[in-house]
Structure 1
Amino acid sequence: MSTPQLSGGTMSMFTGFTRLCKGLAVVLVGGHIVVQILPSALSYLALIPAKTIPFAWNLFTAGYTEQSIYGLFISTIGLLFVGKLLEPIWGSREFLKFIFVVNFLTSVCVFITAIALYYITRQEIYLYMPVSGFQGVLSGFLVGIKQIVPDQDLSFLKIKAKWLPSLALLVSIIVSFFTAESASYLPTMIYGTFIGWIYLRYWQRKPETKLRGDPSDEFSFSTFFPEFCRPVINPIATIFERMLCGRRSEISDESGGYTLGGTTLPGSDPIEASRRRERGARALEERLAAERLAAAGKTEETQKDATENV
């Protein structure tokens, strides 16, 4: 099986966006327009820790409220293009559930962090700085790409898809030293990446195995870090793994899969993980092939019309 590319032809690149992603893009654009026309609405839509109680709804609305035109552009483009890849593979219901869970839990983590920083530093900026944007969910999407096509080469970046989440965080950390606006997005991106991994690693239900998550070694927490860091990361990650999985779930040294009472759970070994990735890659390849065929048909029809006109 040939390796699918993450981008199709020039013409098909801007087609094939799903209805759900288009609808969410409208929500993002609408939220931005509202806060531009009514700046006071930001106090009710964005996450402002000092006002989250009793305005608890901003834990949900903050993720869909873009304050800047640059953030709106990045979020909308990212949603449309990444959604075109992930939604057909996950399904619309699972895709929407992922967005809801990652957005909400990211906001909760940012809220808790802001409160903790206030009590540590006593600086009120942590309580009253409005935090909002879709960046947390976009970071979670990159984790989804890492899971589905980890070894896909990105021709425009000359790196593999599995490094996209780590690279995005590294760039965000570097940029945050130079602009205050980027620094406000950093916690959202960090928590979005982490919550996205938690969801896909432990919570996402797999219809083919009737189990949850992806416990394969290729999707472990240490794979977000370079090889030389993993001897330090692995022991910490193992403790975290056992806390989330419980005492009954262990990593089998022989098979690399999860065991329950000495029996390897189906779908938890590397072979099953590889099959899942092959199915995802195959679905992506079929979709891109259909887009290329449609683009070629449009080109042929255009050329035919031009010839008839002459």
Structure 2
Amino acid sequence: MSSPGSGMLGGFTKLCKGLAVILIGGHVVVQLLPTAVTYLALIPARTIPFGWNLITAGYIEQSVHGVVVSTLGLLFMGKLLEPIWGSKEFLKFIFIVNFLTSVCVFITAIALYYLTMQEKYLYMPLSGFHGVLAGFLVGIKQIVPDQELYLLKIKVKWLPSLMLLLSIAISFFTPESATYLPTLIFGTYIGWIYLRYLQRKPESKLRGDPSEDFAFSTFFPEFLSFIKSSGLYIGRCTITWF
């Protein structure tokens, strides 16, 4: 007989619960002290000398729906990933993806300013855990790619791609897309780079996942991969012919 806490709403790890408390606490802080956003969120024009916001921004949710989604995403995806990766590797993944995503978002914001000369890109407060959540989706894609979601009738391996596609589509109708879209894109890409090339495998003493099932091309629909492969094949045949 299963215990009351062993179902869908139970089994959350202590580390995930602790991180959830940090997310909720960060949200409470910026609600009670709005000026804290200036020091904790990523504001590109203030990142120098406030360099610590490259780390703290990822743990600050400014909206209620943001903290709810991030907390639930952390608990449920962490429930799957942490036991497989181990607590140390799980925490390392979060730190690296969060930090490098913030660095990439900072560079993107500066580039957008110089391209458009709009100061909003320098002073908009960027924060949230959604970059790490995007990286988690890549981790789940790696672990159980062929698992099917019963409600959506799609395989888990397509979740990162569908999330990005939906986010890009929504960005055309939301003026504040710059506050979340770059974070999702870089969180996904950096999560894949880390798992593909850097994550240490204790059992094999190797780094990364070189399998074809986790190649970058697997983020795209299979017919696009087929077209790409066909094009390369035709190109090789043409070169051979001449």
Structure 1 length as normaliser, TM-score?
0.71
Matching residue's letter, 2:59: Y
- Please list the CA deviations of residues 245-301 of structure 1 after superposition, one character each: whole Å capped at 9, or x if unmatched: xxxxxxxxxxxxxxxxxxxxxxxxxxxxxxxxxxxxxxxxxxxxxxxxxxxxxxxxx
2:169 corresponds to which residue? 174
Looking at structure 1, the residues matched to 63 and 11 of structure 2 have their Cα atoms a distance apart, in angstroms, of: 27
Looking at structure 2, the residues matched to 233 and 46 of structure 1 have their Cα atoms a distance apart, in angstroms, of: 41
Matching residue's letter, 1:134: F
Q: State whether structure 2 residue 235 is matched by structure 1 residue 205.
A: no
Matching residue's letter, 1:198: I
- For residue 18 of structure 2, the aligned residue among 19, 23, 30 is 23
1:153 corresponds to which residue? 148
**Structure 1: 4+ residue segments shifted above 6 A:** none
Identity percentage of aligned residues: 75
8 A contact 2:23–2:71 mirrored in 1: yes
Unaligned runs of 5+ in 2: 230-242
Shift of 1:181: 3.9
2:9 corresponds to which residue? 14
Q: State whether structure 2 residue 46 is matched by structure 1 residue 84.
A: no
* RMSD, aligned CA: 1.7
Unaligned runs of 5+ in 1: 1-8, 235-310
Q: State whether structure 2 residue 137 is matched by structure 1 residue 142.
A: yes
Q: State whether structure 2 residue 98 is matched by structure 1 residue 103.
A: yes
Shift of 1:228: 2.8
8 A contact 2:104–2:186 mirrored in 1: yes
Shift of 1:230: 2.5
Looking at structure 2, the residues matched to 101 and 79 of structure 1 have their Cα atoms a distance apart, in angstroms, of: 16
8 A contact 2:145–2:157 mirrored in 1: yes
- For residue 39 of structure 1, the aligned residue among 34, 44, 63 is 34
8 A contact 1:115–1:127 mirrored in 2: yes
Q: State whether structure 2 residue 159 is matched by structure 1 residue 164.
A: yes
- Please list the CA deviations of residues 75-108 of structure 1 after superposition, one character each: whole Å capped at 9, or x if unmatched: 0000000000000000000000000000000000
**Gap change, CA 1:10 and 1:225, over 3 Å in 2:** farther
Secondary structure of 1:53's match?
Answer: coil
1:227 corresponds to which residue? 222
Q: State whether structure 2 residue 214 is matched by structure 1 residue 214.
A: no
- Please list the CA deviations of residues 26-62 of structure 1 after superposition, one character each: whole Å capped at 9, or x if unmatched: 0000100011011110010000000000000000000
Structure 2 length as normaliser, TM-score?
0.90
Matching residue's letter, 2:172: F
8 A contact 2:5–2:11 mirrored in 1: no
8 A contact 1:45–1:58 mirrored in 2: yes
8 A contact 1:177–1:183 mirrored in 2: no
1:123 corresponds to which residue? 118
2:182 corresponds to which residue? 187
Shift of 1:174: 1.5
Looking at structure 2, the residues matched to 182 and 10 of structure 1 have their Cα atoms a distance apart, in angstroms, of: 38
Shift of 1:156: 1.6
Shift of 1:117: 1.1
Secondary structure of 1:114's match?
Answer: helix
